[in-house]
Amino acid sequence: MTDSKKSSAAEKSTAPKKVPKAAKASKILNVVNPFDQSIIGSVPTVTWNNIDKLLATSYQLHKDTEQWLPAFERISILKKTAVLMSQRADELALLIANEGGKPLADARVEVARAIDGVGLCVQEIAHLTGSQIPMDLTQAGAGRIAYSTKEPTGVVVAVSAFNHPLNLIVHQVAPAIATGCPVLVKPARDTPLSCKVFVDMLHEAGLPPPWCHFVVCDTATSEKMITDPRVAFFSFIGSANVGWMLRAKLAPGTRCALEHGGVAPVIIDESADIEEMIPSLLKGGFYHSGQVCVSVQRIFAPKSNVKAIAQLLADGAAKLIVGNAIDEFTECGPLIRPKEVDRVEAWVDEAVAAGAKLLTGGKRLSNTTYAPTVLLDPPVDAKVSTMEIFGPVVCVYGYSDINKAIAQANSLDYAFQASVFTKDLDVAMKTIRALDATAVMVNDHSAFRVDWMPFAGRKHSGYNTGGIAYTMQDMSQDKMAVIKL
């Protein structure tokens, strides 16, 4: 199928269905391919009056326990959704590439992960259990039986990011469905089509529409929705500035999970297998053009071989094919918006002017793409060294003392995932303990993840823990019954 036919097929498959009366649009949002800026589809946006009605419906659904969906129904809906996703996997992968700029090969992996994520939700429903609490440990409790059960926490509002437009939505919405929570989901305005298709699939699989609403709205309306007192749980994936600001404005009692970015460090020990690690670092640094919250950004290598390591990375980066993500051969797609290319260009230019050695890249290739870039020893106070670049840029620093390298890795306000490459067990264990991170990968890049592991940021990088099972626990609450015999 040609690219033009692919684009046409994607537009046709994502044409919005008739919008329910409660969510009639005030405007239409056009969605573009971030590489060539061509319009590939559109979705309706809604006003506060629409969302107010949806919140009221969702709130009443939760309040009326007679309307709660039993576990077997939730299991059936999610299983059917996974089947529908599998049947339309190629379409979903093309859609991810077309609206999000993720290379098609990686988009296919995202679809597979998303399908598995729905399956994980099904498995975890059986683990939403309470326990018996012994009462006769003291005389005061004797003559009683007590046990706890799990209940849905209430209305969930999920606000998502653009970089994994299907899998992130699955991680936020499917756990809500699995736990029995009504959910309103607001995808990134750049990438709403994958979310719309997923929500439609849930409905097609038998989920009554009031249990899951797809909403696209402006910033002010979104904030009003998030901070509404009817919201029991707020799930956010996006920038730290926005996430912390919204958390501060949540209504009393609203629980939340925030997933922000990082400036992921990698420690390379003298014993590391350099030939083996270079492909891993290239994948971790340039996957989705670096637009990943745990993307490899800062690499610390011994001064004795830092130049050789940096040059090998540069040689590999220079060979990466940059282009339209829907092209089968593309390895690095566009940045999500042209202004992000401007920002990355400015940060790299600043670092080079301040003394960083440019080994490859360092230039825009078009309005929407930036060349995969490797910098050697940029200043420690440069933006590329202290802030999440979210672009195809990897920085390499030489060190003479591994303790000082770890201290520099830990010096920022952001802490998410990290990694160490070594063949020395003592070094591995020491680095695991010393790095300020929620997960440390050994002999693998910092962006590794499977969907059943805990996934969370420390400090400015986030709040609470992601991952299917952890999110389902967050969206559930305990209730205890104490029965006097």
Catalytic residues: 259, 293
Three-state DSSP at 298 gives: strand
Q: Which residues contact 248 (CB under 8 A, 6 or more apart)?
A: none
Nearest C-alpha neighbor of 443 from the set 289, 291, 279: 279
Strand segments (E) across 46-189 = 132-133, 144-152, 155-159, 183-186
Query: For the chain, how big is the Rg over CA atoms in Å?
Result: 24
User: Around 212, how many Cα atoms within 13 Å sit in the side-chain half-sphere?
Assistant: 31
Q: 329: how many CB neighbours lie within 10 A of its CB?
A: 10
Between strands 255-259 and 231-237, the pairing is: parallel
Cα–Cα distance, 122 to 345 (Å, whole number): 44
Nearest C-alpha neighbor of 119 from the set 79, 165, 68: 79
| Six-digit token string for 278 | 């270079």
Nearest C-alpha neighbor of 381 from the set 418, 406, 356: 356
Between strands 144-152 and 132-133, the pairing is: antiparallel
